[in-house]
Amino acid sequence: MAKTPFVTKEKVEEIVKSIPTPFHLYDEKGIRANAQAVKEAFAWNPGFREYFAVKANPNPFLIKILQEYGCGTDCSSLTELMLSKELGFSGEEIMFSSNDTPAEEFVYADEIGATINLDDFTHIQYLEDTIGHIPETISLRYNPGGVYEISNGIMDNPGDAKYGMTKEQLFEGYQILRDKGAKRFGLHAFLVSNTVTNDYYPALAKTLFELVVELKEKTGIEISFINLSGGVGIAYRPDQTPNDIRVIGEGVHRVYDEVLVPAGLTDVAIYTEMGRFMMGPYGALVTKAIHEKHTYKEYIGVDACAVNLMRPAMYGAYHHITVLGKEDAPCDHKYDVTGSLCENNDKFAIDRMLPQVEMGDYLYIHDTGAHGFAMGYNYNGKLKSAEVLLKEDGSYQLIRRAETPKDYFATFDCFDIIKGLV
């Protein structure tokens, strides 16, 4: 399947007149259509809520759009909690799924009434010691260990992951929490990242539903919400078939009716914490070709670098690239597309077949809407880019300005040593 940019070369030429490259561009229309589809896919479950994983894209303008579709937020840090509160999310619309959590973050999460999802058994005591009580609503994170296998093979290796607690710890944990006064319980698990199959959520749901039935039989504790967390992936490669959220929602519905309903568990709410699926395809990094280099390989140097999009350097992740205006030209040139960091892994693509790239061409790097800008850093003193929203009516809006050197030097503002720069 061809991957098509959501913007034309002409539109980009218009945007760069006021906002220079590189920048991340977001597609409002796509974000809205997808958020609506997610809502409809789980409408069979009256308690359903998608808690958008803020870490995937912490831009308040974008989170505000998701809020219109009933989404809450899933936070993993103090600043994400602060942002959610400031955007007007109520406590029950905020999930706090953190790990290795500092005390002050538990304090703040409790203060704003967020649902706390504990990563570990020892955190029960730590939380009580920290905030002085056990919240009425509380969730625990499960790790089944071993390898996680579904019909299409081994998906990942939870036994090697730092997250979650064992089944024994989980069962004991709920009983301790009940004894300490908790009233409403949740179960959470995140076992596989970026799954490009409609089978992951239904398989995970089955695992968790069976666990919840067993918990009820053994302890009498009834789980109120089951959080399938993130992991629903996107088709980064043109040959992948994108997930169909309607099929996924129906799959979860089917196991709900098969496992929970016969056990008398008929009003369990389903929660999700998708990040990548909510935003990934609706963002792109727009960058300009500024150098070509012909040595032992052919290189195209662009004005963005790994600071703007780290996934290729960090995971060797594939991001499709379209040369704007050359959508239909034959891909008959092989390039490494590089950024300017003094790191040889600063390459957006290696041995990639593209149309002939000329200096000044705009390269559209697909699927940067999640874990793109958000992972940015400042190595080599590079500054983070602007973010721009392409609105439904075709106009555009700056939704984050680019960093300036002043931002970069700002943490020296309490000293005199580089006074001239801060």
Report how far residue 188's alpha carbon sits from residue 73's, in angstroms, rounded to the nearest whole number.
15
Cβ-contact 229, 99 below 8 angstroms: no
Q: Which is nearer to ligand PLP, 123 or 276 (CB)?
A: 276
> Per CB under 6 A, does 370 bind ligand PLP?
yes
Q: Which among 52-60, 105-113, 315-323, 325-333 is the span making contact with ligand PLP, rule CB under 6 A?
A: 52-60
Q: Examine residue 352 and tell whether it contacts ligand PLP (CB under 6 A).
A: no
For residues 252 and 8, what is the distance between their CA atoms, to the nearest angstrom? Answer: 38
- Helices and strands (DSSP H and E) totals, the chain: 12, 19
Among 12, 35, 54, 56, binds ligand PLP (CB under 6 A): 56
Q: Find all residues with CB under 8 Å of 56, minimum gap 6, and list them.
A: 230, 275, 276, 278, 279, 280, 370, 371, 374
**For ligand PLP, what does the binding mask look like between residues 274 and 293, x meaning CB under 6 A?**
xxxx----------------
CB atoms within 10 A of CB 379: 15
Q: Does 50 help bind ligand PLP (rule: CB under 6 A)?
A: no
DSSP 195-211: B-STTHHHHHHHHHHHH
Does position 224 bind ligand PLP by CB under 6 A?
A: no
Q: Which is nearer to ligand PLP, 276 or 326 (CB)?
A: 276
**Which one of 34, 229, 243, 368 is in contact with ligand PLP (CB under 6 A)?**
229
C-beta of 231 vs 372, nearer to ligand PLP: 231
The yes or no reply on residue 190 touching ligand PLP (CB under 6 A) is yes
Interface with ligand PLP (CB under 6 A), residue total 19
Interface with ligand PLP (CB under 6 A), residue from 59, 67, 84, 97: 97
Shortest Cβ distance from residue 246 to ligand PLP (Å)? Answer: 18
Q: Please, which of residues 101-120 interact with ligand PLP by CB under 6 A?
A: none
Binding region for ligand PLP (CB under 6 A) out of 53-61, 128-136, 258-266, 401-409: 53-61
For 109, 115, 178, 410, the CA distances from 130, given in Å and listed in that order, are 12, 16, 18, 32
Place of tokens 């400031």: 86
Angle of helix 245-255 relative to helix 200-219, nearest 10 degrees, comes to 20
**137-141 and 184-188 as β-strands: parallel, antiparallel, unpaired?**
parallel
Q: Which is nearer to ligand PLP, 23 or 52 (CB)?
A: 52
Cα dihedral 243, 44, 205, 50 in deg (nearest 10): 70
Applying CB under 6 A, does 139 fall inside the site for ligand PLP? no
Assign 192 to helix, strand or coil. coil
| Best CA proximity match to 253, nearest among 334, 335, 198 | 198
Picking from 176, 169, 143, 168, the residue whose alpha carbon sits closest to that of residue 157 is 143
Burial of 213 (0-12, 13-18, 19+ CB in 10 A): middle
74 binds ligand PLP (CB under 6 A): yes
Is residue 123 close enough to count as binding ligand PLP by CB under 6 A? Answer: no
Least distance (Å) between residue 289 CB and ligand PLP: 30
Whole-angstrom distance, CA of residue 164 vs CA of residue 185: 16
**Based on CB atoms, which residue is closest to ligand PLP, 108 or 200?**
200
Minimum Å gap between C-beta 93 and ligand PLP is 15
Residue of minimal Cβ distance to ligand PLP = 230
Pick the piece of the chain touching ligand PLP (CB under 6 A) from 210-218, 248-256, 270-278, 299-307: 270-278
Query: Per rule CB under 6 A, is residue 385 in the interface with ligand PLP?
Result: no
In the set 158, 231, 339, 372, which binds ligand PLP (CB under 6 A)?
231
Distance of alpha carbon 30 from alpha carbon 184, whole angstroms: 35
Residues that bind ligand PLP (CB under 6 A): 53, 55-56, 74, 76, 97, 190, 193-194, 229-232, 273-277, 370
